[in-house]
Structures are given as C-alpha cells and as structure tokens.
Amino acid sequence: MAVALLHHLLDGNQTLHFLSKSSACRRPFTLRPIRVTMSHNQSYWTSINGEIEAHLKQTIPLRPPLEVFEPMRHFVLSAPETTAPALCVAACELVGGHRDQSIATASALHLMYTASFVHEQLPLTDRPRPKSRPMTHHTYNPNIELLIPDAMVPFGFELLAKADDPTQNNSDRILRVIIEIARAMGSQGMVEGQYHELESSSQWDNEEVSNIAWIEHVCKKKDGGLHACAAMCGAILGGGGEEEIEKLRRFGLYVGMIRGMSSGIGKKEKGLVRVVEELRNLALKELDEFEGGKFEAISSFVNA
Amino acid sequence: MAVALLHHLLDGNQTLHFLSKSSACRRPFTLRPIRVTMSHNQSYWTSINGEIEAHLKQTIPLRPPLEVFEPMRHFVLSAPETTAPALCVAACELVGGHRDQSIATASALHLMYTASFVHEQLPLTDRPRPKSRPMTHHTYNPNIELLIPDAMVPFGFELLAKADDPTQNNSDRILRVIIEIARAMGSQGMVEGQYHELESSSQWDNEEVSNIAWIEHVCKKKDGGLHACAAMCGAILGGGGEEEIEKLRRFGLYVGMIRGMSSGIGKKEKGLVRVVEELRNLALKELDEFEGGKFEAISSFVNA
C-alpha cells in the first residue's frame, strides 16, 4: 500500500520543464522552469509514505474485537493507492510546518478514502456496476464489507480529534480540519461524485462531449475534492496563511482531477489530454510564490 | 420521527415510585421515592424533541444536490425513534447547562443513529437477515441506501465541529464529544454490536441462557453505548464535573440497555424481566445526587 504509493508519479531520472501561461492570472505570473529529479523526490515521498504507514499500523493494532480490527487493518493496508495523504504532509511542510503536525490527519484521510473505496465495491442486490469500476476480489463477506467501513470513518474522525495538542494550542486548526474533511467526504464531495458516477455511467458510451463533462465533474468531486481537502488541511495544520491555504486547496483540486483523469475513471478517454495539460498549468500557477526543496517535491504531483 | 419520540415512555397520568437498593454502592445510598408525573415530563420531552427536529430540518434543507439531500432528509425524519438525542439534552440541562449547548450534538447523534439504521436494513447479496431485525419498506434503491448514510456520518461530525463557539471557549469540550461519539458509533460500540447481532443470530432459537447473554452484549454495545455516549456528551457540554459526567454515562448505559431489551432485540425474551428490573435500580442509583425538576424528568427514562 502506502510504501509503494506515489512512486509511479516519478518517471525515471529525467528532468522535466513546465512552463505555465500567465494570461488567466490576476497578478503577473513568473515563468519559472521547475526541475523535478527523481532521486531527490523519491526519497521525500518514500519517507512521507513510510511514516503514514507506520502511523496507521500503530493506530490499528490487531486488538479485540479481532473480527472488526483484522478486516479494518486488511482494508487499510491493501487499499489502492491515493496520493492525497502524502499531499497533506507535503503541504504542511511547504508552509513551514513540521511533519508530526499532519501525520494523524494524513492517516485519517487514508482511512476514510479506504472506507469509501470498500463501499464502492460492495455487491448490492440489483446494483448496476459502473463500467468505470474494475471488478475486485472480495476477501470478506458483504456484511463485513458494509460494517467495517462504518467503523473506519468514525475512527478517522477520532484520530483527527485526538491530534489536538494543548501544548500547541491548535484546537481551532483541528476543528477546522474536521469540518473540511467532513465536507470532502460527504454530500457535496465524495458522495456526490459517487452518486453521479453511478447514475450517469449508463451514458458512458454515448457522446464524447458529455462523457468529458461527466468525467470532469466526477473527478472534481472525488479525487479533486479529496486532494483539495488534503492539501488545504496540511496547510492549515502547518500554520499557513489564508492565501497559502487557498492556493494549496486549488493546487490539490487540480492535481486530484489530473489523477482521476489519468489513472481513474478518465484513463481511457483520449479527449482529456488537453484538459489534463491545462490543469497542470493551473496547478503550477498556484505554487508560484512557494520556494525551496519542498516546492520542487510538491510540484512533481502534477506529473500523474 | 422526533416529535413523537419518547411519548410512549410515559404511561399515563400515574405516579411511579422507584425504590433502589444500596448494597452495590460505594457510598451510603439514599432511598428516595421518585415522582414521575406525565403532565410535567411530557411537556419537557415534547419541547426537547421539537427543538431537535427543528434543528435537523434547518440543517438539512432541500438544497442541491437534491438527489443526495432529499433522501438524507427523508431518512432523518422517518427513522425509528431513539431516545438518545433527548437524553443528551436532558443531561446537559441536569448539570446546569443551557439547551443550546447540546442541540447540535443531539442532532448529530440522531443523524448517525439513522445512518447506522439505514445500513442495517440494506439488502446485500448473500446476506442473512437476523431474526431480530424486522423487514422494512425500502423507499430508495440500494445504491442510495448505501451512499446517503456515508454522507450522513461526516455531516454529523461537521455539525459537532461547527458547535465550537469562540465566545464560549468550548473547543476542548467539543473535541472530547467528537472522540466519544466516534467511539460509540465505531469499532468498539455500535459496529461491534451490529457484528455480534449478525454473526450470532443463527443461535437465536437454541439456548435460553446464551440468548440472554448475547442480547445483553448486543444491547450494551448498541443502545447502551449510544445512550451512554449521549448522556455523557450532554454532561460534558453542559459543564458537568467529572463525577457527574461518569454518573450520567453509566445512567445512559443502563437506560440504553433497558431500551434495547424492552423494545429492541430483547422484546420477546421473557427471561430478561429480572435483568431489566436490576438495570432500572442501577440506573436510578446513578441519579442519587442530582435534584430538582430536571431530575424528575430524566428519571422517567428508566421506564421503557
């Protein structure tokens, strides 16, 4: 799971140069070549993902009731990768925060994303399977696959609330993060995206234009919303200013949409190449005022 | 739903006298007759439940996406009653708090209980139906019944976090309540109870003794845990001391178990009459040091 997470984002030892447009920017946009070298960033992502995985293993030990915790641990450690938790930590560090301030939130994001994924795969009576969702192997029976995610989501919120540290006087930040994650996972985020994915999947093969609009909407609500929330929460926890928080939220939104379009529901849709390229430019614009080694690392997210 | 909630707890205009034992109590236990008159308490519960319902209607308006909010509102307003939200408000007032401090939490408890109930009723492929669960009418298709509760739980946590009020400096209380509710709804509370209800239901007709032990365990984890959490959270939000919080937690646990045994999975089990009577005595002991009109009202909870 998490150990391998993100490695495929970095495509070899090459150096990439992104040049962004300035026309849509309110202030003059500096054209800046971004050097993304694998050797540097790989160790950065490996270290972040290692810490998230260690935190998850520590917080979900094999304790009684084993019938509940064993599948929870299995789901968490075998879920498909998402880059949102690592982005949360990277955003925290980009604004000058310490990694420890965001690891619990990154773990909670992984828990909730996993819960959402397991419910997506649940075999329901009379349920049509969207073509965008691959068939998956079911290790547990449907009751377990329904119940355990219902335990994982509250557990994620417990992790968030327990990150409150009186010595840091960070209650306000923690409560704000809880609200942001609740919105991203709920009725105007992930669940709305899942609803549209289910209800509209029958139109998948009909019209290319509406397909693209539909894919964009689903990616915005699902991967986009999750990554926007992750980056925003990392910036909040790291003590970023409101402008930095908003820039990282938009960066996360674009990056998440790129992820969804490149490796998720849009991966077979050739008409999205131009949209993805535009999203890359928009994402990089948001990083214009950040600097240093962490800037290089987080920039590599646009390279899905 | 909530308007009618609790009315059946009060059985006419009679006056009830509960006399509790002192043997199991650490300190001398005062034998105290409790006068529970319907006219007094009915208006109290009606007013609490009216405010919870008004708060729920206000927080779940029919807004876009309607496909998500319309069923959410339907589930919330048509779910079977639970007395836990009202107990939360009553506990808050019993320790001297104001109703406004607990209404959002009571609403969140109702949302999460409802989400849990809807998932319990979900028609899954190859899912055995526990005999303890009645057949229900399904207004929506399984996809909606799976998805919408996944939106309701985060929404409940959002309501909790938004109850933070800088003018009251109550962040610590809010964060503590979030942790308590997460635990009550999760892997060591509601979900563990649901797991045991599902896995053990095949033994339902076999042995009376194990049936009773099984019912007690499920009631402790489900209704017991929910009511314990509700009463505890009300006391926390109302500014109760640690001893009051703990007494009300135990009171809620016993009251919830009585509810589960009397009207839930244990309602056909005649062997539970003695257990319920003992739980009533234990519950009333916990209220020994509380006084006033609110004490009379909350005492009526033992009369399931």
- Point out which residues pair with B36 in neighbouring strands: B16
pLDDT digits (tens, 9 = 90+) for B193-218: 988 888 766 555 454 446 888 889 99
B281 or B11, which is more confident: B281
Mean of the pLDDT values across residues A55-80?
90
pLDDT tens by residue, A204-228: 545 444 688 888 999 999 999 999 9
If one compares B166 and A132, the residue with the highest pLDDT of the two is B166
Residue A15 inside a domain? The answer is no
Output A242 or A196, whichever has higher pLDDT.
Answer: A242
Instruction: Answer yes or no: is A75 within a domain.
Output: yes
B88-103 pLDDT, tens per residue?
Answer: 999 999 999 999 999 9
Q: Is residue A21 predicted with pLDDT exceeding 80? A: no
| A-chain residue closest to B186, CA distance | A151
| Total tally of structural domains belonging to chain A | 1
Q: Does position A36 have pLDDT exceeding 90, yes or no?
A: no
Nearest to B194 among A147, A164, A191 (CB): A147
Position B212 scores a pLDDT of: 84
Lowest mean pLDDT among B132-136, B170-174, B283-287: B132-136
Asked if residue A13 is part of any domain, the answer here is no
Q: Chain B: nearest CA to A3, how far in angstroms?
A: 26
pLDDT band at B178 (very low <50, low <70, confident <90, very high): very high
Give φ, ψ of A266 to 5 degrees. Answer: -100, 5
Residues of B in Cβ contact (< 8 Å) with A116: 150
C-alpha gyration radius of chain B? 19
Average pLDDT, chain A: 81
Phi then psi for residue B36, to 5 deg, are -115, 100
Beta-ladder partners of B16: B36
What percent of chain A stands above pLDDT 70? 79
Chain B nearest C-alpha distance from A292 (Å): 35
Confidence of residue A132 (pLDDT cuts 50, 70, 90): low
User: Is there a domain that residue A51 lies in?
Assistant: yes
Of B39-48, B170-179, B194-203, the range with the lowest mean pLDDT is: B194-203
DSSP string, chain B: -GGGTTGGGS-TT--B------TT-SSPPPP----B-HHHHHHHHHHHHHHHHHHHHHHS-S-SSHHHHHHHHHHHHHSPP-SHHHHHHHHHHHTT--GGGTHHHHHHHHHHHHHHHHHHT--BTTPPPPTTS-----SS-HHHHHHHHHHHHHHHHHHHHHT--TTTT-HHHHHHHHHHHHHHHTTTTHHHHHHHHHHHGGGTTT-HHHHHHHHHHHHIIIIIHHHHHHHHHHHHHTT--HHHHHHHHHHHHHHHHHHHHHHSTTTT-GGGHHHHHHHHHHHHHHTTT--SHHHHHHHGGG--
**What's the average model confidence in pLDDT over B8-22?**
28
Chain A residues in contact with B172 by the CB 8 A cut-off are 164, 166, 171
Whole-number pLDDT of residue A1: 34
Q: What is the pLDDT of residues A173-185, one digit of tens each?
A: 999 999 999 999 9
Q: Which helix (H) or strand (E) holds A166?
A: none
* pLDDT band, residue A37 (cuts 50/70/90): very low
Residue A165: pLDDT band (50, 70, 90) is confident
Nearest to A175 among B67, B142, B164 (CB): B164
Q: Which one of A157, A181, A183, A198 would you mutate to disrupt binding with B, by most B Cβ within 10 Å of its Cβ?
A: A157
H or E stretch covering A28: none
Residues of B in contact with A127 (CB under 8 A): 142-143
Assigned domain for B116 exists: yes
Mean pLDDT on B117-124: 87
Q: Is the pLDDT of residue A145 over 60?
A: yes
For residues B65-82, average pLDDT = 90
pLDDT at A124: 73
Binned at pLDDT 50, 70 and 90, residue B41 comes out as confident
d(CA A195, CA B149): 12
pLDDT at A258: 94
Question: Domain residues for B112?
Answer: 2-6+34-121+138-161+187-302
Please indicate whether, in this complex, the C-beta atoms of A142 and B123 are within 8 angstroms of each other: no
Residues 6+ apart with CB under 8 A from A17: A33, A34, A35
Query: What's the CATH number where B111 sits?
Result: 1.10.600.10
The whole-number pLDDT of residue A33 equals 41
- Predicted confidence band of residue A123 (pLDDT cuts 50, 70, 90): confident
| ipTM entry | 0.84
Averaged pLDDT, A97-121: 96
Let me know if residue B167 belongs to a domain.
no
> Across chain B, what does the average pLDDT equal?
81
CB contact under 8 Å between A68 and B195, yes or no, is yes
Domain-located, residue B150: yes
User: Which of A269-283, B5-19, B224-238 has the least mean pLDDT?
Assistant: B5-19
- pLDDT the model gives residue B4: 32
- Residue A59: its pLDDT value, please? 93
Mean pLDDT lowest among A24-28, A77-81, B251-255, B259-263: A24-28
What pLDDT is stored for residue A223 in this prediction?
95
- Interface contact B153-A154, CB threshold 8 A: yes
- Residue A301 banded pLDDT, cuts 50, 70, 90: confident
Q: What is the pLDDT of residue A133?
A: 60
Percent of chain A with pLDDT over 90: 51
What is the average per-residue pLDDT within B235-259?
A: 97
In a domain, B26, yes or no: no
Q: Is the pLDDT of residue A281 over 50?
A: yes
Mean pLDDT of all residues in A5-9: 30
What is the pLDDT at residue A304?
61
pLDDT given at position B134:
60
Return the pLDDT at A24.
31
Least confident interval from A148-162, A181-195, B28-42: B28-42
Residue whose C-alpha is closest to residue B106's, from B33, B156, B158: B156
